[in-house]
Amino acid sequence: MTNIREDINSDEVRWYVIHTYSGYEKNVETNIRKIVENRKMEHLIQDLKIPLENLDEAEEASAKSKKEKYDRKLLPSYVLVKMKMCDESWHVVRNTRGVTAFVGPGSKPIPLTDEEVQRLEIETYVPAVEFGISDSVRIIDGALKGSVGIVEEISPDKKKIKLTISMFGRQTVIEIDTSSVAKID
């Protein structure tokens, strides 16, 4: 048997996936949070998430229907944990009631990639923008690919921008993703 310290110790804080008994996701999250708080381990185990999806459900109630909102688990029997992997943090998570294992080969947990974290929308990333208000940019994606515009506004989350472009001989303001434009040098 390999030593955990050799396999998983890392100074980097990453997201890991833990498998739980069916229906124990909330209990596992609550128990780990309590242990972290009691043992003052916030520097090792920083966050826990149960990925949820918001849904509307139409229920027939006699003659009229009413809609109720509810959350559905995206990954039933799994909890995501943001932690610095070491013997102590591994032991706390692995020995929490309801946890069956970390996801990974054998006893070696594998962290989620940055792409997986983005796809699951676990953390919101603020994209780096290389341009500012009044800069000229070229649209590099979509129906307006190749068009040039002037940046008028950048959204606070830096995911969308408003551009003034020349369309059909008129100046038109459009909204577009920041990832769909590149600064013109």
Q: Residue 183: pLDDT above 60?
A: yes
Q: Considering the chain, what percentage of its residues have pLDDT values greater than 90?
A: 52
Residue 13's contacts (CB-CB under 8 Å, 6 or more residues apart) are 46, 82, 83, 84
What pTM, to 2 d.p., does this model score? 0.60
**Averaged over 3-10, what is the pLDDT?**
49
Domain span holding position 92:
4-56+65-119
Quick check: is 124 in a domain?
A: no
Shared-domain flag, residues 48 and 93? yes
Shared-domain flag, residues 156 and 113? no
**Averaged over 136-148, what is the pLDDT?**
91
Nearest to 80 by CA among 145, 30, 15: 15
Quick check: is 101 in a domain?
A: yes
pLDDT of 56: 59
| Mean pLDDT rounded to a whole number for the chain | 84
Q: Rounded to an integer, what distance in angstroms lies between the CA atom of residue 28 and that of residue 98?
A: 6
β-partners of residue 64 are 61
pLDDT of 60: 42
pLDDT in tens, 68-105: 667 788 889 999 999 999 999 999 999 999 999 999 98
Shared-domain flag, residues 76 and 50? yes
Q: Residue 119: pLDDT above 90?
A: no
Shared-domain flag, residues 80 and 149? no
Pick the more confident residue, 60 or 151: 151
